[in-house]
Amino acid sequence: MKKLMRLVMLSCKKVTELIEKKSLVGLTWKEKIHFTMHRSMCNACSTYQKQSEFLDKILYQQNIAPFNENIKIIKNKELKERIISSL
């Protein structure tokens, strides 16, 4: 039974890869079916997907303006002087 399952089911490694494919270019209908089936039966992968989407959200948010203002400011006086003298 376990062997049979393995033939039908995608591996966890493949499923975690499809998560990236999904967010980059989307999945084919066949992949969608396999993906959904695996995820509904595998706790580890469905948890992984949630955490992966959480990381996506953070990585996107880090690129928008309000976050820019939250990063720690590192002063660089030499750079400032260098730029001004080069203008």
Q: Are 51 and 81 in contact (CB under 8 A)?
A: no
Binding status of residue 61 toward other proteins by CB under 8 A: yes
CB of 11 to other proteins, least distance (A): 3
CB of 66 to other proteins, least distance (A): 9
Choose which of 13, 33, 34, 41 interacts with other proteins (CB under 8 A). Answer: 13
Q: What residue has token string 């595998």?
A: 42
12 Cβ partners below 8 Å, 6+ apart? 38, 42, 44, 45
The C-alpha atoms of residue 21 and residue 34 are separated, in whole angstroms, by: 14
Positions touching other proteins (CB under 8 A) are 6, 11-14, 16-17, 19-21, 23-25, 43-45, 47-48, 50-52, 54-56, 58-63, 65, 67-76, 79-80, 82-84, 86-87
